[in-house]
Amino acid sequence: MTTDLTQASAAQLGRLYRKGKASPVETMKAVLARADRLATTINALCHVDKKAALAAARASEKRWKNGEPLSPLDGVPVSIKELVRVKGWPASMGSKLTDKTPVDADAPAVARLREAGAIVFAQSASSEYGHKGVTDSPLHGITRNPWNTGMTPGGSSGGAGAAVAAGLGPIAIGTDGGGSVRIPASFNGLIGLKATFGRVPAWPPSMTGDLSNTGPMARTALDAALMMNAIARPDPRDGYALPPDDTDYTKKLATLPKKLKIGFALRFGDHPLDIEVAAMVTKAARDFEALGCTVEEVEPPFSFGEASRAFVIHWLSALQRLLQVFPEERHGEFDPSLLAGAKAGLRYSLQDVVNAQVTRRDLTLVWNLFFAKYDLLLTPTVAVQPFEAGTNLPPGPDGKPNFMWSPYTPQFNLTRHPAATVPCGLSRLGLPVGLQIASAHYNDALVLRAAAAYADAHPLSFPVLPETK
Protein backbone atom coordinates (compact mmCIF):
# COMPACT_ATOMS: atom_id res chain seq x y z
CA MET A 1 0.00 0.00 0.00
CA THR A 2 1.77 3.15 -1.23
CA THR A 3 -1.11 5.63 -0.94
CA ASP A 4 -0.85 7.94 2.07
CA LEU A 5 -4.12 6.99 3.73
CA THR A 6 -3.99 10.04 6.00
CA GLN A 7 -4.44 12.25 2.94
CA ALA A 8 -7.35 10.32 1.40
CA SER A 9 -10.88 11.66 1.58
CA ALA A 10 -13.63 9.62 3.23
CA ALA A 11 -15.08 8.78 -0.19
CA GLN A 12 -11.67 7.69 -1.47
CA LEU A 13 -11.17 5.46 1.57
CA GLY A 14 -14.51 3.79 0.93
CA ARG A 15 -13.54 3.06 -2.66
CA LEU A 16 -10.17 1.65 -1.57
CA TYR A 17 -11.85 -0.58 1.00
CA ARG A 18 -14.35 -1.83 -1.56
CA LYS A 19 -11.57 -2.79 -4.00
CA GLY A 20 -9.46 -4.37 -1.27
CA LYS A 21 -6.63 -1.89 -1.88
CA ALA A 22 -6.63 -0.65 1.72
CA SER A 23 -8.24 -1.62 4.98
CA PRO A 24 -9.79 0.31 7.89
CA VAL A 25 -7.09 -1.12 10.16
CA GLU A 26 -4.32 0.24 7.91
CA THR A 27 -6.03 3.61 7.80
CA MET A 28 -6.63 3.79 11.53
CA LYS A 29 -3.02 2.84 12.32
CA ALA A 30 -1.75 5.49 9.90
CA VAL A 31 -3.97 8.19 11.38
CA LEU A 32 -3.08 7.26 14.96
CA ALA A 33 0.63 7.31 14.14
CA ARG A 34 0.30 10.71 12.49
CA ALA A 35 -1.72 12.00 15.45
CA ASP A 36 1.13 10.97 17.76
CA ARG A 37 3.71 12.69 15.61
CA LEU A 38 1.73 15.93 15.24
CA ALA A 39 0.42 16.10 18.81
CA THR A 40 2.67 18.94 19.92
CA THR A 41 2.80 20.62 16.52
CA ILE A 42 -0.86 21.60 16.27
CA ASN A 43 -2.49 20.37 19.52
CA ALA A 44 -5.74 19.56 17.72
CA LEU A 45 -6.84 16.43 19.58
CA CYS A 46 -7.38 16.44 23.33
CA HIS A 47 -8.35 12.77 23.69
CA VAL A 48 -7.46 9.81 21.47
CA ASP A 49 -9.09 6.42 22.15
CA LYS A 50 -6.58 4.12 20.42
CA LYS A 51 -7.81 0.80 21.79
CA ALA A 52 -11.46 1.38 20.89
CA ALA A 53 -10.50 2.85 17.50
CA LEU A 54 -8.49 -0.21 16.50
CA ALA A 55 -11.24 -2.54 17.70
CA ALA A 56 -13.78 -0.63 15.59
CA ALA A 57 -11.38 -0.73 12.62
CA ARG A 58 -11.06 -4.51 12.87
CA ALA A 59 -14.85 -4.89 12.98
CA SER A 60 -15.17 -2.62 9.94
CA GLU A 61 -12.50 -4.58 8.08
CA LYS A 62 -14.54 -7.76 8.54
CA ARG A 63 -17.65 -6.10 7.19
CA TRP A 64 -15.84 -4.87 4.08
CA LYS A 65 -14.31 -8.31 3.49
CA ASN A 66 -17.77 -9.85 3.75
CA GLY A 67 -19.18 -7.27 1.34
CA GLU A 68 -21.45 -5.89 4.06
CA PRO A 69 -20.31 -2.35 4.92
CA LEU A 70 -22.81 -0.32 6.92
CA SER A 71 -22.37 2.72 4.65
CA PRO A 72 -19.70 4.42 2.51
CA LEU A 73 -18.37 5.87 5.79
CA ASP A 74 -17.69 2.44 7.29
CA GLY A 75 -14.10 2.37 8.56
CA VAL A 76 -13.53 6.12 8.12
CA PRO A 77 -11.89 7.87 11.13
CA VAL A 78 -13.84 10.84 12.51
CA SER A 79 -13.00 13.23 15.33
CA ILE A 80 -15.65 14.82 17.53
CA LYS A 81 -15.50 18.31 19.03
CA GLU A 82 -15.24 18.19 22.81
CA LEU A 83 -18.54 20.08 23.20
CA VAL A 84 -20.33 17.05 21.69
CA ARG A 85 -20.89 14.03 23.90
CA VAL A 86 -19.24 10.69 23.19
CA LYS A 87 -20.14 7.73 25.36
CA GLY A 88 -17.26 6.79 27.66
CA TRP A 89 -15.43 10.09 27.19
CA PRO A 90 -15.59 13.15 29.46
CA ALA A 91 -17.72 16.12 28.39
CA SER A 92 -14.85 18.47 29.12
CA MET A 93 -16.15 21.59 27.33
CA GLY A 94 -12.56 22.82 27.24
CA SER A 95 -12.96 23.82 30.89
CA LYS A 96 -11.11 23.12 34.10
CA LEU A 97 -14.39 23.45 35.98
CA THR A 98 -16.37 20.60 34.44
CA ASP A 99 -16.80 17.14 35.90
CA LYS A 100 -14.56 14.82 33.88
CA THR A 101 -16.67 11.72 34.56
CA PRO A 102 -17.22 9.76 31.32
CA VAL A 103 -20.68 10.36 29.88
CA ASP A 104 -23.15 7.52 29.41
CA ALA A 105 -24.60 8.27 25.98
CA ASP A 106 -23.58 9.47 22.53
CA ALA A 107 -24.93 12.72 21.11
CA PRO A 108 -27.18 12.15 18.07
CA ALA A 109 -24.51 12.91 15.45
CA VAL A 110 -22.06 10.55 17.14
CA ALA A 111 -24.66 7.79 17.40
CA ARG A 112 -25.58 8.15 13.71
CA LEU A 113 -21.93 8.06 12.62
CA ARG A 114 -21.31 4.92 14.63
CA GLU A 115 -24.38 3.34 13.01
CA ALA A 116 -22.82 4.19 9.65
CA GLY A 117 -19.64 2.38 10.68
CA ALA A 118 -17.44 5.46 11.04
CA ILE A 119 -14.65 5.12 13.61
CA VAL A 120 -15.09 7.69 16.37
CA PHE A 121 -11.46 7.83 17.47
CA ALA A 122 -10.69 11.24 18.99
CA GLN A 123 -12.01 14.32 20.71
CA SER A 124 -10.96 17.64 19.17
CA ALA A 125 -10.10 20.79 21.07
CA SER A 126 -12.42 23.78 21.46
CA SER A 127 -12.27 27.10 23.19
CA GLU A 128 -13.88 26.89 26.64
CA TYR A 129 -17.61 26.31 26.16
CA GLY A 130 -17.09 27.37 22.54
CA HIS A 131 -17.32 30.97 23.58
CA LYS A 132 -14.92 32.53 21.05
CA GLY A 133 -13.85 32.24 17.42
CA VAL A 134 -10.35 30.95 18.12
CA THR A 135 -9.20 27.74 19.81
CA ASP A 136 -7.26 27.85 23.04
CA SER A 137 -8.37 27.04 26.54
CA PRO A 138 -7.07 26.90 30.11
CA LEU A 139 -7.56 23.11 29.95
CA HIS A 140 -5.75 22.27 26.71
CA GLY A 141 -3.64 25.26 25.70
CA ILE A 142 -3.28 26.65 22.18
CA THR A 143 -4.37 24.84 19.02
CA ARG A 144 -2.50 25.80 15.84
CA ASN A 145 -3.20 26.03 12.13
CA PRO A 146 -1.54 23.33 9.97
CA TRP A 147 -1.07 25.82 7.11
CA ASN A 148 1.10 27.97 9.40
CA THR A 149 1.52 26.87 12.99
CA GLY A 150 2.07 30.43 14.12
CA MET A 151 -1.55 31.16 13.20
CA THR A 152 -4.88 30.25 14.77
CA PRO A 153 -7.09 27.61 13.14
CA GLY A 154 -10.09 29.71 14.14
CA GLY A 155 -12.78 28.41 16.44
CA SER A 156 -14.44 27.36 18.33
CA SER A 157 -14.21 24.07 16.35
CA GLY A 158 -10.56 24.81 15.67
CA GLY A 159 -9.33 21.41 16.79
CA ALA A 160 -11.68 19.77 14.33
CA GLY A 161 -10.57 22.04 11.50
CA ALA A 162 -6.87 21.62 12.23
CA ALA A 163 -7.24 17.85 12.52
CA VAL A 164 -8.89 17.42 9.13
CA ALA A 165 -6.44 19.78 7.40
CA ALA A 166 -3.51 17.95 9.00
CA GLY A 167 -4.64 14.48 7.95
CA LEU A 168 -5.89 13.37 11.37
CA GLY A 169 -9.03 11.81 9.97
CA PRO A 170 -10.73 13.12 6.80
CA ILE A 171 -13.94 14.22 8.52
CA ALA A 172 -14.93 15.85 11.81
CA ILE A 173 -17.95 16.98 13.77
CA GLY A 174 -18.03 20.60 14.94
CA THR A 175 -20.61 22.90 16.44
CA ASP A 176 -21.63 26.34 15.21
CA GLY A 177 -23.32 28.92 17.42
CA GLY A 178 -22.03 32.00 15.60
CA GLY A 179 -19.71 30.60 12.95
CA SER A 180 -17.79 27.97 14.91
CA VAL A 181 -17.91 25.43 12.07
CA ARG A 182 -17.54 27.93 9.25
CA ILE A 183 -14.73 30.08 10.71
CA PRO A 184 -12.28 27.21 11.31
CA ALA A 185 -13.32 25.52 8.08
CA SER A 186 -12.43 28.76 6.29
CA PHE A 187 -9.13 29.19 8.15
CA ASN A 188 -8.15 25.56 7.43
CA GLY A 189 -9.24 25.30 3.78
CA LEU A 190 -12.21 23.01 4.44
CA ILE A 191 -15.86 22.75 3.58
CA GLY A 192 -18.05 23.24 6.63
CA LEU A 193 -21.83 23.35 6.80
CA LYS A 194 -24.20 24.91 9.30
CA ALA A 195 -27.43 23.37 8.09
CA THR A 196 -30.93 24.75 8.62
CA PHE A 197 -31.48 24.76 12.37
CA GLY A 198 -32.94 21.40 13.41
CA ARG A 199 -31.77 19.51 10.34
CA VAL A 200 -28.98 17.86 12.35
CA PRO A 201 -30.42 16.77 15.72
CA ALA A 202 -28.47 17.72 18.83
CA TRP A 203 -28.52 16.64 22.47
CA PRO A 204 -28.11 17.78 25.15
CA PRO A 205 -29.28 21.31 24.33
CA SER A 206 -26.52 23.84 23.93
CA MET A 207 -26.06 26.55 26.50
CA THR A 208 -26.63 29.03 23.66
CA GLY A 209 -29.95 27.40 22.77
CA ASP A 210 -31.21 27.64 19.22
CA LEU A 211 -28.18 29.57 18.03
CA SER A 212 -26.15 26.37 18.10
CA ASN A 213 -25.91 23.71 15.39
CA THR A 214 -23.94 20.49 14.98
CA GLY A 215 -22.28 20.22 11.59
CA PRO A 216 -19.85 18.42 9.29
CA MET A 217 -16.31 19.56 8.48
CA ALA A 218 -14.44 17.90 5.63
CA ARG A 219 -11.92 18.41 2.84
CA THR A 220 -14.54 17.79 0.15
CA ALA A 221 -18.22 18.51 -0.39
CA LEU A 222 -18.79 14.83 -1.14
CA ASP A 223 -17.46 13.89 2.29
CA ALA A 224 -19.69 16.52 3.90
CA ALA A 225 -22.64 15.08 1.96
CA LEU A 226 -21.79 11.57 3.14
CA MET A 227 -21.77 12.88 6.70
CA MET A 228 -25.11 14.63 6.21
CA ASN A 229 -26.66 11.40 4.98
CA ALA A 230 -25.80 9.93 8.37
CA ILE A 231 -26.19 12.80 10.86
CA ALA A 232 -29.31 14.45 9.43
CA ARG A 233 -31.41 11.48 10.51
CA PRO A 234 -33.90 12.20 13.32
CA ASP A 235 -33.38 11.69 17.04
CA PRO A 236 -36.20 11.97 19.59
CA ARG A 237 -33.95 13.68 22.15
CA ASP A 238 -33.98 16.91 20.14
CA GLY A 239 -37.31 18.68 20.56
CA TYR A 240 -36.47 21.06 17.70
CA ALA A 241 -35.35 18.46 15.17
CA LEU A 242 -36.91 18.76 11.72
CA PRO A 243 -38.82 15.78 10.34
CA PRO A 244 -36.80 13.49 8.07
CA ASP A 245 -36.86 14.44 4.41
CA ASP A 246 -35.04 11.38 2.99
CA THR A 247 -32.58 13.58 1.09
CA ASP A 248 -29.58 11.77 -0.35
CA TYR A 249 -27.07 14.59 -0.20
CA THR A 250 -24.56 12.76 -2.38
CA LYS A 251 -27.00 12.43 -5.27
CA LYS A 252 -27.84 16.11 -4.97
CA LEU A 253 -24.20 16.98 -5.72
CA ALA A 254 -24.40 15.71 -9.30
CA THR A 255 -25.06 19.01 -11.07
CA LEU A 256 -25.59 22.63 -10.12
CA PRO A 257 -28.94 23.89 -11.42
CA LYS A 258 -28.45 26.29 -14.32
CA LYS A 259 -29.62 29.87 -14.20
CA LEU A 260 -29.43 30.22 -10.46
CA LYS A 261 -29.88 33.81 -9.36
CA ILE A 262 -27.16 34.66 -6.86
CA GLY A 263 -26.65 37.72 -4.71
CA PHE A 264 -23.15 38.77 -3.75
CA ALA A 265 -22.42 41.01 -0.76
CA LEU A 266 -18.82 41.94 -0.03
CA ARG A 267 -19.61 43.76 3.22
CA PHE A 268 -22.29 43.42 5.86
CA GLY A 269 -21.75 46.91 7.21
CA ASP A 270 -19.04 49.35 8.19
CA HIS A 271 -16.34 46.88 9.22
CA PRO A 272 -12.71 46.29 8.18
CA LEU A 273 -12.15 43.84 5.33
CA ASP A 274 -8.77 42.38 4.38
CA ILE A 275 -7.93 43.51 0.83
CA GLU A 276 -6.83 40.02 -0.30
CA VAL A 277 -9.97 38.43 1.16
CA ALA A 278 -12.06 40.98 -0.73
CA ALA A 279 -10.26 40.31 -4.02
CA MET A 280 -10.34 36.53 -3.72
CA VAL A 281 -13.99 36.33 -2.72
CA THR A 282 -15.00 38.76 -5.48
CA LYS A 283 -13.23 36.58 -8.03
CA ALA A 284 -14.91 33.48 -6.60
CA ALA A 285 -18.31 35.11 -6.90
CA ARG A 286 -17.61 35.92 -10.56
CA ASP A 287 -16.50 32.34 -11.11
CA PHE A 288 -20.08 31.27 -10.44
CA GLU A 289 -21.03 33.02 -13.68
CA ALA A 290 -18.84 30.47 -15.48
CA LEU A 291 -20.95 27.79 -13.81
CA GLY A 292 -24.04 29.17 -15.54
CA CYS A 293 -25.35 31.38 -12.74
CA THR A 294 -26.38 35.02 -12.71
CA VAL A 295 -24.50 36.97 -10.03
CA GLU A 296 -25.62 40.40 -8.84
CA GLU A 297 -24.01 42.63 -6.25
CA VAL A 298 -26.54 43.31 -3.50
CA GLU A 299 -26.90 45.31 -0.32
CA PRO A 300 -27.63 43.29 2.82
CA PRO A 301 -31.30 43.75 3.75
CA PHE A 302 -30.74 44.69 7.39
CA SER A 303 -29.03 47.09 9.76
CA PHE A 304 -25.64 45.58 10.59
CA GLY A 305 -25.48 47.40 13.93
CA GLU A 306 -28.90 46.20 15.07
CA ALA A 307 -28.25 42.62 13.98
CA SER A 308 -24.84 42.54 15.67
CA ARG A 309 -26.26 43.90 18.90
CA ALA A 310 -29.04 41.30 18.83
CA PHE A 311 -26.52 38.50 18.42
CA VAL A 312 -24.27 39.78 21.20
CA ILE A 313 -27.23 40.01 23.59
CA HIS A 314 -28.35 36.48 22.74
CA TRP A 315 -24.80 35.18 23.16
CA LEU A 316 -23.69 36.94 26.33
CA SER A 317 -27.00 36.51 28.14
CA ALA A 318 -26.52 32.78 27.60
CA LEU A 319 -22.91 32.82 28.83
CA GLN A 320 -23.90 34.50 32.09
CA ARG A 321 -25.59 31.26 33.14
CA LEU A 322 -22.13 29.81 33.80
CA LEU A 323 -21.79 32.20 36.73
CA GLN A 324 -24.74 30.46 38.37
CA VAL A 325 -23.70 26.93 37.37
CA PHE A 326 -20.27 27.14 39.03
CA PRO A 327 -19.45 28.53 42.49
CA GLU A 328 -18.03 32.04 42.58
CA GLU A 329 -14.80 30.90 44.23
CA ARG A 330 -13.94 28.97 41.03
CA HIS A 331 -14.76 31.71 38.52
CA GLY A 332 -11.08 32.64 38.33
CA GLU A 333 -10.45 29.31 36.59
CA PHE A 334 -12.45 30.39 33.53
CA ASP A 335 -10.73 31.68 30.41
CA PRO A 336 -10.54 35.45 31.18
CA SER A 337 -12.44 36.27 27.98
CA LEU A 338 -15.23 33.84 28.92
CA LEU A 339 -15.50 35.31 32.39
CA ALA A 340 -15.59 38.84 30.99
CA GLY A 341 -18.31 37.88 28.51
CA ALA A 342 -20.39 36.13 31.16
CA LYS A 343 -20.18 39.18 33.45
CA ALA A 344 -21.14 41.44 30.54
CA GLY A 345 -24.21 39.26 30.00
CA LEU A 346 -25.42 40.09 33.52
CA ARG A 347 -25.77 43.74 32.54
CA TYR A 348 -28.57 43.19 30.01
CA SER A 349 -32.09 43.93 31.16
CA LEU A 350 -35.18 41.87 30.43
CA GLN A 351 -36.17 44.56 27.94
CA ASP A 352 -32.81 44.22 26.18
CA VAL A 353 -33.37 40.50 25.74
CA VAL A 354 -36.92 40.94 24.48
CA ASN A 355 -35.81 43.62 22.03
CA ALA A 356 -33.07 41.30 20.75
CA GLN A 357 -35.67 38.57 20.18
CA VAL A 358 -37.81 41.02 18.20
CA THR A 359 -34.80 42.05 16.10
CA ARG A 360 -34.09 38.37 15.46
CA ARG A 361 -37.61 37.80 14.14
CA ASP A 362 -37.36 40.89 11.94
CA LEU A 363 -33.97 39.77 10.63
CA THR A 364 -35.34 36.34 9.75
CA LEU A 365 -38.20 37.93 7.84
CA VAL A 366 -36.00 40.18 5.71
CA TRP A 367 -33.67 37.30 4.84
CA ASN A 368 -36.67 35.12 3.97
CA LEU A 369 -37.81 37.83 1.56
CA PHE A 370 -34.28 38.09 0.17
CA PHE A 371 -34.13 34.34 -0.50
CA ALA A 372 -37.51 34.49 -2.17
CA LYS A 373 -35.75 36.59 -4.81
CA TYR A 374 -32.27 35.00 -4.85
CA ASP A 375 -31.39 31.31 -4.82
CA LEU A 376 -28.08 31.85 -3.03
CA LEU A 377 -26.06 34.54 -1.28
CA LEU A 378 -22.27 34.70 -1.53
CA THR A 379 -20.11 36.58 1.00
CA PRO A 380 -16.68 36.25 2.54
CA THR A 381 -16.78 33.70 5.35
CA VAL A 382 -14.46 35.78 7.51
CA ALA A 383 -13.28 39.36 6.97
CA VAL A 384 -9.64 38.57 7.79
CA GLN A 385 -7.00 35.94 7.14
CA PRO A 386 -5.90 33.58 9.92
CA PHE A 387 -4.10 35.60 12.59
CA GLU A 388 -1.67 34.92 15.42
CA ALA A 389 -2.38 31.82 17.49
CA GLY A 390 -3.01 32.50 21.17
CA THR A 391 -4.68 35.85 20.56
CA ASN A 392 -8.43 36.43 20.71
CA LEU A 393 -8.58 39.21 18.12
CA PRO A 394 -6.61 40.26 15.05
CA PRO A 395 -5.27 43.78 14.79
CA GLY A 396 -7.42 46.22 12.86
CA PRO A 397 -6.23 48.73 10.26
CA ASP A 398 -5.60 51.22 13.09
CA GLY A 399 -3.50 48.72 15.04
CA LYS A 400 -6.18 48.33 17.71
CA PRO A 401 -7.98 45.01 18.32
CA ASN A 402 -10.49 44.32 15.58
CA PHE A 403 -13.75 43.24 17.22
CA MET A 404 -15.57 43.05 13.88
CA TRP A 405 -13.40 40.41 12.20
CA SER A 406 -16.26 37.90 11.74
CA PRO A 407 -19.40 39.82 10.74
CA TYR A 408 -20.81 37.37 8.18
CA THR A 409 -21.49 34.12 10.01
CA PRO A 410 -23.63 35.03 13.07
CA GLN A 411 -26.48 36.37 10.93
CA PHE A 412 -27.52 32.90 9.88
CA ASN A 413 -27.36 31.51 13.40
CA LEU A 414 -29.93 34.14 14.34
CA THR A 415 -32.12 33.44 11.30
CA ARG A 416 -31.53 29.66 11.18
CA HIS A 417 -30.75 29.68 7.44
CA PRO A 418 -28.26 27.15 6.03
CA ALA A 419 -24.78 28.44 5.28
CA ALA A 420 -21.55 26.73 4.24
CA THR A 421 -17.99 27.78 3.59
CA VAL A 422 -15.84 26.59 0.70
CA PRO A 423 -12.16 27.46 0.15
CA CYS A 424 -11.56 29.95 -2.65
CA GLY A 425 -7.77 29.79 -2.70
CA LEU A 426 -4.67 30.76 -0.76
CA SER A 427 -3.47 34.25 0.03
CA ARG A 428 0.05 35.44 -0.70
CA LEU A 429 0.94 34.22 2.79
CA GLY A 430 -0.23 30.74 1.82
CA LEU A 431 -3.30 30.91 4.09
CA PRO A 432 -6.78 29.68 3.10
CA VAL A 433 -9.62 32.08 2.43
CA GLY A 434 -13.25 31.00 2.54
CA LEU A 435 -16.37 31.88 0.53
CA GLN A 436 -19.67 31.67 2.42
CA ILE A 437 -22.72 30.30 0.59
CA ALA A 438 -26.16 30.79 2.17
CA SER A 439 -29.69 30.03 1.07
CA ALA A 440 -33.32 29.76 2.14
CA HIS A 441 -34.46 27.48 4.93
CA TYR A 442 -34.27 23.77 4.03
CA ASN A 443 -32.01 24.41 1.01
CA ASP A 444 -29.15 22.55 2.68
CA ALA A 445 -28.59 20.27 -0.32
CA LEU A 446 -28.46 23.26 -2.70
CA VAL A 447 -25.85 24.97 -0.50
CA LEU A 448 -23.67 21.85 -0.55
CA ARG A 449 -24.22 21.43 -4.27
CA ALA A 450 -22.99 24.96 -4.92
CA ALA A 451 -19.98 24.36 -2.66
CA ALA A 452 -19.20 21.17 -4.57
CA ALA A 453 -19.49 22.85 -7.97
CA TYR A 454 -17.08 25.58 -6.96
CA ALA A 455 -14.63 23.28 -5.13
CA ASP A 456 -14.51 20.78 -7.99
CA ALA A 457 -13.47 23.58 -10.33
CA HIS A 458 -10.95 25.01 -7.84
CA PRO A 459 -9.24 22.14 -5.95
CA LEU A 460 -6.96 22.86 -3.01
CA SER A 461 -3.77 20.98 -2.07
CA PHE A 462 -3.29 20.53 1.67
CA PRO A 463 -0.04 21.25 3.53
CA VAL A 464 2.51 18.61 4.44
CA LEU A 465 3.57 19.31 8.01
CA PRO A 466 6.95 18.54 9.56
CA GLU A 467 6.14 15.85 12.12
CA THR A 468 7.56 15.88 15.64
CA LYS A 469 7.19 13.37 18.41
- What residues act catalytically? 81, 156, 180
In angstroms, the CA 369 to CA 365 distance is: 6
In angstroms, the CA 217 to CA 294 distance is: 28
Q: In what order do the strands lie in the sheet with 213-218?
A: 45-48, 119-124, 77-81, 171-176, 213-218, 191-194, 419-426, 432-438, 376-380, 261-264, 294-297
Cα atoms in the Cβ-side hemisphere of radius 13 Å centred on 353: 12
In angstroms, the CA 35 to CA 112 distance is: 24
31 CB-contact burial (10 Å; exposed 0-12 / middle 13-18 / buried 19+): buried
C-alpha distances in angstroms, 109 versus 116, 142, 235?
11, 26, 9
In angstroms, the CA 353 to CA 342 distance is: 15
User: DSSP code of 137?
Assistant: E
Cα atoms in the Cβ-side hemisphere of radius 13 Å centred on 362: 14
Q: Which of 409, 299, 317, 402 is nearest to 355 (CA)?
A: 317
In angstroms, the CA 123 to CA 132 distance is: 18
**Torsion sign over Cα 248, 254, 260, 263:** positive
Q: Which of 177, 109, 179, 129 is nearest to 382 (CA)?
A: 179
C-alpha distances in angstroms, 256 versus 151, 231, 293?
35, 23, 9
Tell me the sheet residues that pair with 341: none
Helix, coil or strand: residue 28: helix
